[in-house]
Amino acid sequence: INSTSDSNIDATILYDKLMTSFSNDWIERESDPDLYPGYYGGSFVDNNGNFVIAVTGDVDKNRAHLINILETDNFKIETVRYSYREMMRVMDDIDNFLINNTIAENHPVLERFAGAYPDVMDNRVKVLLTEINDNVINTFKKEISNSPLIVFKQGEIPELY
């Protein structure tokens, strides 16, 4: 029996149980910041196949709460600074900028924007830009979001085939 695949199955079950405890319609609402409780910082499967739940605040209180929800203690807890809700609110700010059709196509951020995603393992929102310079970063912070959660990274615009 491959224990890694067994724990991945367990992690999938635990993830589904956790998300369902937030809301029965979590799949439809996955990008809604209000879906996530303030203590939840995200979750992932580590390199050893353990289900890891990132939490803010009181670890012992959150662990007890999560054991109650998941009906097991077969998971690890990691303490983080920012909640997943905060990360998703930053993603909303970025999305609102991207869908705003009053923004000129030659806007310095739009011209260099290559993507953005919540990085649960680093507890940050990664913003990918094809070119990183002070002008683009300052414009982003002024016009989109000045959140301390954001980390700017070099990236390429994905090729569409």
pTM of the model: 0.86
Per-residue pLDDT tens for 43-90? 999 998 899 999 999 999 999 999 999 999 999 999 999 999 999 999
**Percentage of residues of the chain with pLDDT beyond 70:** 93
CB 29 within 8 A of CB 35: yes
Instruction: Give every residue of the chain whose pLDDT is below 50, as ranges.
Output: 1-5
Cα–Cα dist 152/137, whole Å: 8
Which tokens belong to 33?
A: 């910041």
